[in-house]
Amino acid sequence: MLIVQKYGGTSVGSFDRIRNVAGRIKSLREDGHQVAVVVSAMGGVTDKLVTMARELCDEPPEREMDVLLSTGEQQSIALVTMALRQLGVEAVSITGRQAGMKTSGSHTRARIEAIDPTLSRRYLGEGKVVIVAGFQGVNEEGLIQTLGRGGSDLSAIAFASSVRADLCQVLTDVDGVYTADPRVVRDARKLPEISYDELLELASVGTKVMQSRSVEFAKKYGVKFEVRSSLNNNPGTIVTEEHEAMEAVVIRGVSIERSQARVTITGIPDEPGMSALILGVLGEAEINIDMIISNTAHDGYARHSFTMHTNDLGRVQAALKPVLSDLGGEANLESEAGIAKLSVVGIGMRSHSGVAAQMFKALGEGGINIGMISTSEIKISVTVEEARIEDAARVVHSAFGLDTAPA
């Protein structure tokens, strides 16, 4: 079998952990498998590089950030390879460029366009284990680009797809995908399986066990993969196409997103083109906004609210200020920080009614006030005061029986 594995930052976070990874890879080789491994930077290294950049520059140029951040993975691939050689395993490290990772789009959040696996195939054919730097690639101009935080997940899924791996495993510091972050909800349970759509929705609202774009890629190219622990041999979570039995579960998981802020613009003339004007400037400024709620006009004026990460609040305010005058004399901007978002996700929601009511009732009974609400076909999100987000997650997790029901 050709196995592609990915080890995240914690899994290669110390010399002992690196030796552990090398030992695991060695046993796969001894079982006769071809192995390619995508690795992240050692835990904390990428954050440290970001801090270093900010020491010297208020707004570090993104091109240079990519040059800097990609060094984290360059260290870890060499170290993992050395640990393997120490165990007598033939292994070579390759950077994103050498692995043929072709990227496009903006620096620090590039997309993988294509992968040319020629060199990787050659090494694999020679019986070597290939250790690939995650999180990085090069664009058409030959410039180094990174794939957004957590981007090694995407490198691994895309790599597995390009070499047509028989098995793709994402190894991390938890046993799989849980019904909620096990660090927050102690009674969270590991899910034996989850559909692409559910994991994609969860990842896009804060479940960082997989980067959301990696799940999107896996869905698009049909890459079935498993999330499991690098520290034990427990079975993990299979991420796959949905099948009928999955719809019986109404809520698959609960997710939280902290450090959110809300901006509300009031006094917007009730005329065509106003929303496009507001959202257009935010789009141009490349700011991701999230929940968008617009209220029906009252006395000829409408209001729009949306949420974003607190780090983006200043940029949103700055981008919208000039627009206020274009909206006329009544327009006003209010903002609020210190909120968080709680979401429940499940494909079973499509065929079950009353799910939102059940969620709101649980929050009400827990004395937790709901701010904004938004829903999609398989997700319900609400904002709550940030100080109450963990209580909110636990209350809702238990209201849907996620701590007890078999998955």
Binding site for ligand ADP (CB under 6 A): 8-11, 40, 150, 172-174, 177-178, 180-183, 207-209, 253
Q: Which of 186, 246, 203 is nearest to 403 (CA)?
A: 186
- Choosing from 4, 41, 268, 349, the residue that interacts with ligand ASP (CB under 6 A) is 41
Helix (H, G, I), strand (E, B) or coil at 170: strand
User: Locate tokens 């920080």: which residue?
Assistant: 337
- Choosing from 4, 6, 7, 8, the residue that interacts with Mg ion (CB under 5 A) is 8
Q: Which of 72, 80, 238, 59 is nearest to 150 (CA)?
A: 72
Using an 8 Å Cβ cutoff, are 21 and 7 in contact? yes
- Choosing from 10, 11, 46, 95, the residue that interacts with ligand ASP (CB under 6 A) is 46
Using the rule CB under 5 A, give the single segment among 7-15, 154-162, 349-357, 390-398 that binds Mg ion.
Answer: 7-15
Using the rule CB under 6 A, is 150 a contact of ligand ASP?
yes
Helix (H, G, I), strand (E, B) or coil at 67: helix
Give which of Mg ion, ligand ASP, ligand ADP, none residue 108 binds (C-beta under 5 to 8 Å, depending on kind).
none
Using the rule CB under 6 A, is 9 a contact of ligand ASP?
yes
Using the rule CB under 6 A, is 151 a contact of ligand ASP?
yes
Token pair, residue 245, equals 């039995």
> In the complex, what is the shortest distance from the CB of residue 183 to ligand ADP, in angstroms, rounded to a whole number?
4
Handedness of CA 83, 85, 87, 91 (dihedral sign): positive
Give which of ligand ADP, ligand ASP, Mg ion, none residue 13 binds (C-beta under 5 to 8 Å, depending on kind).
none
> How many binding residues for ligand ASP (CB under 6 A)?
13
Q: How far is CA 242 from CA 60, 193, 203, in A?
A: 42, 9, 17
Using the rule CB under 5 A, is 13 a contact of Mg ion?
no
Using the rule CB under 6 A, is 11 a contact of ligand ASP?
no
> In the complex, what is the shortest distance from the CB of residue 41 to ligand ADP, in angstroms, rounded to a whole number?
9
Using the rule CB under 5 A, give the single segment among 126-134, 142-150, 173-181, 303-311 that binds Mg ion.
Answer: 142-150
Give which of ligand ASP, ligand ADP, Mg ion, none residue 72 binds (C-beta under 5 to 8 Å, depending on kind).
ligand ASP
Using an 8 Å Cβ cutoff, are 159 and 35 in contact? no
Using the rule CB under 6 A, is 135 a contact of ligand ASP?
yes
Give which of ligand ADP, ligand ASP, Mg ion, none residue 180 binds (C-beta under 5 to 8 Å, depending on kind).
ligand ADP
Using the rule CB under 6 A, is 149 a contact of ligand ASP?
yes
- Choosing from 43, 150, 176, 371, the residue that interacts with Mg ion (CB under 5 A) is 150
Using the rule CB under 5 A, give the single segment among 60-68, 143-151, 176-184, 330-338 that binds Mg ion.
Answer: 143-151
Using an 8 Å Cβ cutoff, are 187 and 132 in contact? no
Bridge partners (DSSP) listed for residue 350: none
Q: How far apart are CA 340 and CA 260, in angstroms?
A: 5
Closer to ligand ASP by CB, 11 or 358: give it: 11
Q: How buried is residue 389: exposed, middle or buried, by Cβ count under 10 Å (0-12/13-18/19+)?
A: buried
Q: How far apart are CA 18 and CA 37, in angstroms?
A: 13
Q: How far apart are CA 248 and CA 406, in angstroms?
A: 11
Closer to ligand ADP by CB, 123 or 135: give it: 135
Chain-centroid distance, C-alpha 145: 18
DSSP class per residue in 98-150 = TTTEEEESSTTS-EEEEE--HHHHHHHHTT-EEEEEPSEEE-TTS-EEE-STT
Residues of this chain that bind Mg ion (CB under 5 A) = 8, 150
Residues of this chain that bind ligand ASP (CB under 6 A) = 8-9, 40-41, 46, 72, 134-135, 149-153
